[in-house]
Structure 1
Amino acid sequence: MRLTPTGLAAVALCATAVLTGCGPSPAAAKVGMTVDDSGSPVIVLEDCKEGDMVELQLFDESLTPQPNSTGGTTSLPIAVYTVSKGSKTVQQIPVTRGGAGWEPVTVVPELRPSTSYKVRSWGKGHKSFGGQTIFTPNDLKALKPGEVRYGVQVKTASGVYQDEYHVAPLDEFAPSDCD
């Protein structure tokens, strides 16, 4: 079968829609970490554009991803937190017990000092992704309450993007496109 130019354009359009439509859309949100007065880890979430972030997942980066039904692998979260309605304000969620309306859906295990953990934020039904941060509990020892450690994507000399971590006061922690 031979395709006309119009047919080729339709195939290209459908392929583009499939490639760009398969996955969560990005949201204007940022995730970081702070500590409370006792030095315990606290997730900091700011969703200033949509206010639709309703799920946080905590991953232990030392665990081996599990096989999935598509032949690939999937990393499973060690803890999940949910809230009934998102908010456009900065929210602080203590890792061990949740808070600010965020409730752990699972039992939160004790964090090991030098293990890397990842926190991801999601909109309802995983239709939007609001960002993530990676930390070790040892990374957080240098923080004082009110300071937030968060990653910023920077392009390396080889053209690869990676997170560069910054520490800022809580009142300066905001996604780049916040007012």
Structure 2
Amino acid sequence: MSTTSRLAASTALLVVVGVLAACGPPSTGTIGVGVDAAGRPVGFLKVCEGEHMDGAGLVTEPITNSSRAIASWDVRPAATASTSWSFDKPSGGWVVRRPVPQLQPGVVYHLEAGADDGSGYGGYVLFTLEDLKAMKPGQVRVYDHVRTPPAGEPTGSDDQQARDENDGFMRVITQRDFERASCLE
């Protein structure tokens, strides 16, 4: 399979997995986002024991059936533990498949990860450029699976739901807590 075909297949898989997460592959890890010392975006991935993930993708919210990844990355060999990568200059086996564009203020971004073979999904995290600017190195923004009320399901337009989910369903933890967290959280 050519690099272009592989990129297209990986990107399509990640978008489909993200849209259909509720009825898709099992959760086999978790994903987060943070910044490096220069304030550049960094992806964080924790893979559950015995599982693997080999790709990540970035899309803009709200996601529709026609959404396409605006950036994507592969990791070889597949990640089987905690790992991280710079969005623009990845290392440690991570490679850019589709370069990340300049992130824009006010846009809600959706970062997700999964396995090319469909065996697992790392969930997703939402963020804005403003969220990243408020972060420090060593912090990781994650989906808050244990949030407390009144965080109910977002309502309104698709754009409003994306903003509400970004504001009320995410939390920032330390990188150490991210790496030590149970795969069941």
Q: Higher helix share goes to which structure?
A: 2
Q: In the alignment, is the contact (CA less than 8 A) between 1:27 and 1:49 conserved in 2?
A: no
Deviation at 1:125, TM superposition (A): 2.5
Identify unmatched segments of 5+ residues in structure 1: 1-22, 66-72
Deviates more, 1:93-102 or 1:134-143: 93-102
CA distance in 1, matches of 2:183, 2:30: 10
Equivalent residue in structure 1 for 2:103, among 90, 111, 129: 111
Name 1:150's counterpart in structure 2: 142
Greater strand percent: which structure? 1
Matched, 1:82 2:88: no
Counterpart-to-counterpart distance in 1, 2:150 and 2:61: 26
Contact 2:106 2:129 in 1 (8 A): yes
Which residue identity lines up with residue 173 of structure 2 in the other structure? A
Say which one has the larger Rg.
Answer: 1
TM-score, with structure 2 as normaliser? 0.69
Contact 1:42 1:92 in 2 (8 A): yes
Closer, same or farther: CA 54–38 of 1 in aligned 2, 3 Å = same
Per-residue CA deviations over 1:103-140 (Å, capped at 9, x if unaligned) read: 11123211113211111111122332111101011101
**Equivalence for 2:13:** none
Query: What RMSD over aligned residues (CA atoms) do the two structures have, in Å?
Result: 2.6
| 1:4 counterpart residue number | none
Change in 2 beyond 3 A, CA 1:28/1:127: closer
Alignment correspondent of 2:130? 138
Structure 2 unaligned residues grouped into runs of 5+: 1-22, 155-164
The alpha carbon displacement at 1:155 in A equals: 7.5
Question: Residue type matched to 1:172 in 2?
Answer: D
